[in-house]
A and B are shown apart, each in its own frame.
Chain A
Amino acid sequence: MASAAVPTIAPGGQATSRARLVSAIQRQGAVIALAALIVFGAVRYGAGYYSVYNIFDAFLNNNTYYALIALGMTFVIITGGIDLSVGSVAVLAAVTAARLSVYGIGPAVAGGVLIGLVAGLINGGLIAGFGLQPFVVTLAMLLAGRGAALTLSGNAPVMVDFSHGFTQLGMLRVGPVPLPVLITAVLYLLGVLLLNYTRFGRHVLAIGGNEEGARLAGIPVGRTLVAVYSMSGALAGLAGVFLAALSFSGSPTGAIGWELSAIAAVVVGGTLLTGGVGSVGSTLAGVLLLGLIFVTLNFERGQGTFELNSFWENFIRGAFLLIVVVFQSRLARRLEVPG
């Protein structure tokens, strides 16, 4: 889980080792919490907790949507931006994929991803080309995407076609691993490589660190921003395709609040909203942590320890986000104080 940042000159002396430790906890806090939760669950609930079904179907497969969206969001947030449109774009892609599913799996997947890419291109174009604020542009796309989804679906869920293979996307497995999980894992691997080992990744980090500086240093800021928002749109599109394949329909009213869940996952992972710093691996840890908390709560409910109705879910999500961000900000602040 290599964490990438704009290279800075390390402050000398013994302060560095302590600072490095605090920094590591801040960046890897989600990984540590994730590991702790897995150990806790495995000890408390036994084999059912780490059964193949629970790991790959109940847990991972249900979190591929958030994982994909959060991956794109990580790049956007590292540039210092935000993408509020991902939930709507995912829904638009889900409806598109469901509509195209009669032509088979290829056109459906391509259509969904493509429409997401186009939405992202528009976002990026407006942000980079006209210097508009990402918050407003993607807010408008949030409305437009939902509107387009409603129009394309005729205000009702579109059932997917079962006879031309689209639903295979949700059913195929490689060994015990469902295809969506495998694809998501591969994309995360590519994301790590892209951010840490390519010129593009360096540009993304540099823009987030100091956009004006990056521009003056000759970095193609506009092009990079367009690419980042397009990527976010395309990944949201793919998440929508998975949603359609796994729920057998493209519903124009689904995926509400996904953008905020994705932002929460990115932040819980330790990527700062100020931009310039961030890690793809940490985002994955953030997504998995948020997902695993609910799997674990379900197990606890199964043991009959307490009765939690579904309304606790929102409350717990909010409370958890609060604890993590307060903890992180304290660590980040300690980093700023030398010695």
Chain B
Amino acid sequence: MSEPVSGSVGQVTSPSLAPSRLTTSWLPGFVRTYSSLVALAVLVIFNIVFTPNFLTVGSFNANMTQVATIVIVAVGMTFVIATGGIDLSVGSLMAIAGVVAPMFLLDAQQFGLPAVGLALAIVVPLIATTVLGAFNGTLVTVVGLQPIIATLVLYLGGRGIAQLLVNGELRELRNLGSPLVPSFEFIGLGQVFGVRFQIIIMVVVVVVAIWVLRATTFGRYVLATGGNPAAARLAGVPVNRVKMTVYCISGFLAGLAGLVVVAINRSADPHRVGEYMELDAIAAVAVGGTPLMGGRATIVGTFIGAMIIQLLRFTLIAHNIPDGITRMVIAGAIVVAVLAQRQRSS
């Protein structure tokens, strides 16, 4: 990691164009990703050396299971933050998806074919949370609310909707008595070639998101919108449509994560599903190196950020550090991460 030297010794004029362009084009993103990667590597090595049974399938699966839902939500959050927004409603949307799904896990013959019931249990919650994401997007674009306030509405109200839909009752999936339940639980508990299905979902989400952000026009639009909305609009970027789309993506992915959580827990708890998810997701994005002002984004960084937070938590718990101290350490890690990024990018 060699920093390009701008100007010669004693020169106090503004740095010459070439090095500064170099620093602003590819180096910061690379270095930022790299520094979080170093942190992740340190954590992994520490655990290999000091944590018994770290290099086991069980331990791997435990960590990946914990991180999968955070990554899925944080990818959506990355898109929103890249446009300069924020989505506080993700946890509540997860709860809504979680309580809607069991409504379709009924008698196998209820919808003619068993597969129809299963498909509805997956598709309807996803449509619901995507529509609610569009609601967020409408408040931001059409009404012109600030994202933090716009999504605060569903943060508060969405949890209420989830609670009201099931009258505040926890639904145990096995008590539904539906033959569809085992198939549904495959989302969270199933395995494909020994890999948890939810991990596959997470990988697919990450890969698609990387492709969208890097290789599509929409991805360019997202970054342009966050970088300078006024300039983007003048350059012909459909700013409002882009913003609307990222909130829909965030809603969709929150719904997906909600389904995964319900499938893992084998129950839908309207009070607990998705609790604190907005904080975990935002922390993962920030640690990963996506600046909260928007205009730049790294999906790989977000994935690494989520992994760092999860591994940090795992490490501290594995070494019997109390929960309270664990939280303080994670808080410190977030501050250190954003401090490091600030110094690298300036």
Q: Which residues of A contact B (CB under 8 A)?
A: 82, 126, 130-133, 135-137, 139-144, 146-152, 155, 252, 260, 263-264, 267, 273-274, 309-319, 321-322, 325-326, 329-330, 333
For the complex, give the distance between the alpha carbons of A114 and B164 in Å.
41
Kindly list chain A residues whose C-beta atoms are within 8 Å of the C-beta of B329: 147
A154 to B: closest C-beta gap in Å? 9
B335→A132 contact, CB < 8 A: yes
User: Is B328 an interface position by the 8 A CB rule?
Assistant: yes
With A135-B282, A143-B331 known, 12 other A-B pairs at CB within 8 A are A126-B335, A140-B283, A143-B279, A143-B283, A147-B327, A147-B329, A150-B323, A150-B324, A252-B324, A309-B167, A325-B149, A330-B143
8 Å CB contact of A274 from B146, B158, B159, B164? B146
Kindly list chain A residues whose C-beta atoms are within 8 Å of the C-beta of B338: 132-133, 136-137
B283→A315 contact, CB < 8 A: no
For the complex, give the distance between the alpha carbons of A133 and B159 in Å.
28
Kindly list chain A residues whose C-beta atoms are within 8 Å of the C-beta of B153: 318, 321-322, 325
Kindly list chain B residues whose C-beta atoms are within 8 Å of the C-beta of A329: 143-145
> Nearest chain-B residue to A147 (Cβ)?
B327
Ranked 7 nearest A-B pairs via Cβ: A318-B157, A147-B327, A315-B160, A150-B324, A314-B160, A151-B324, A144-B331
A130→B339 contact, CB < 8 A: yes
Which of A126, A130, A263, A318 has the largest count of B CB atoms less than 10 A from its CB?
A318
User: Is B322 an interface position by the 8 A CB rule?
Assistant: yes
B239 to A: closest C-beta gap in Å? 17
B149→A139 contact, CB < 8 A: no
B324→A136 contact, CB < 8 A: no
Q: List 18 A-B contacts (CB under 8 A).
A: A133-B293, A135-B282, A136-B335, A137-B335, A142-B279, A143-B327, A143-B328, A147-B323, A147-B325, A150-B324, A155-B323, A260-B88, A260-B155, A309-B168, A314-B156, A315-B164, A317-B160, A318-B158
For the complex, give the distance between the alpha carbons of A311 and B95 in Å.
14
For the complex, give the distance between the alpha carbons of A264 and B152 in Å.
8
User: Is B292 an interface position by the 8 A CB rule?
Assistant: yes
8 Å CB contact of A131 from B146, B160, B342? B342
Kindly list chain A residues whose C-beta atoms are within 8 Å of the C-beta of B159: 314
A70 to B: closest C-beta gap in Å? 14
Kindly list chain B residues whose C-beta atoms are within 8 Å of the C-beta of A317: 156-157, 160
**C-beta contact mask, B294-335 vs A, less than 8 Å → 1, else 0?**
000000000000000000000000000011111111111011
> Nearest chain-B residue to A150 (Cβ)?
B324
A83 to B: closest C-beta gap in Å? 12
How many residues of chain B have a CB within 8 Å of chain A?
A: 46
B65 to A: closest C-beta gap in Å? 22
For the residues of A in contact with B, the DSSP-based class is helix
A140→B331 contact, CB < 8 A: yes
User: Is B47 an interface position by the 8 A CB rule?
Assistant: no
Kindly list chain B residues whose C-beta atoms are within 8 Å of the C-beta of A126: 335
A209 to B: closest C-beta gap in Å? 17
User: Is B199 an interface position by the 8 A CB rule?
Assistant: no
Kindly list chain B residues whose C-beta atoms are within 8 Å of the C-beta of A260: 88, 152, 155-156
With A155-B324, A318-B154 known as contacts, the answer to whether A144 contacts B163 (CB < 8 A) is no
For the complex, give the distance between the alpha carbons of A49 and B342 in Å.
54
B157→A322 contact, CB < 8 A: yes
B160→A143 contact, CB < 8 A: no
> Nearest chain-B residue to A131 (Cβ)?
B342
Which of B86, B159, B168, B327 has the largest count of A CB atoms less than 10 A from its CB?
B327
**C-beta contact mask, B230-243 vs A, less than 8 Å → 1, else 0?**
00000000000000
B157→A314 contact, CB < 8 A: yes
Kindly list chain B residues whose C-beta atoms are within 8 Å of the C-beta of A151: 322, 324-325, 328
A148→B328 contact, CB < 8 A: yes
Kindly list chain A residues whose C-beta atoms are within 8 Å of the C-beta of B292: 133, 135-136
User: Which residues of chain B from 258 to 315 have a CB within 8 Å of any chain A CB?
Assistant: 279, 282-283, 286, 292-293
8 Å CB contact of B156 from A82, A309, A318? A318
Kindly list chain A residues whose C-beta atoms are within 8 Å of the C-beta of B149: 263, 267, 273, 321, 325
For the complex, give the distance between the alpha carbons of A132 and B342 in Å.
8
Kindly list chain A residues whose C-beta atoms are within 8 Å of the C-beta of B324: 146-152, 155, 252
B17 to A: closest C-beta gap in Å? 24
A136→B286 contact, CB < 8 A: yes
For the complex, give the distance between the alpha carbons of A313 and B150 in Å.
19
Kindly list chain A residues whose C-beta atoms are within 8 Å of the C-beta of B144: 329, 333
For the complex, give the distance between the alpha carbons of A147 and B330 in Å.
10
B307 to A: closest C-beta gap in Å? 18
Which of A132, A143, A312 has the largest count of B CB atoms less than 10 A from its CB?
A143
For the complex, give the distance between the alpha carbons of A24 and B328 in Å.
44
8 Å CB contact of B327 from A150, A267, A321, A330? A150
For the complex, give the distance between the alpha carbons of A333 and B152 in Å.
21
User: Is B115 an interface position by the 8 A CB rule?
Assistant: no
With A139-B282, A318-B156 known as contacts, the answer to whether A144 contacts B145 (CB < 8 A) is no
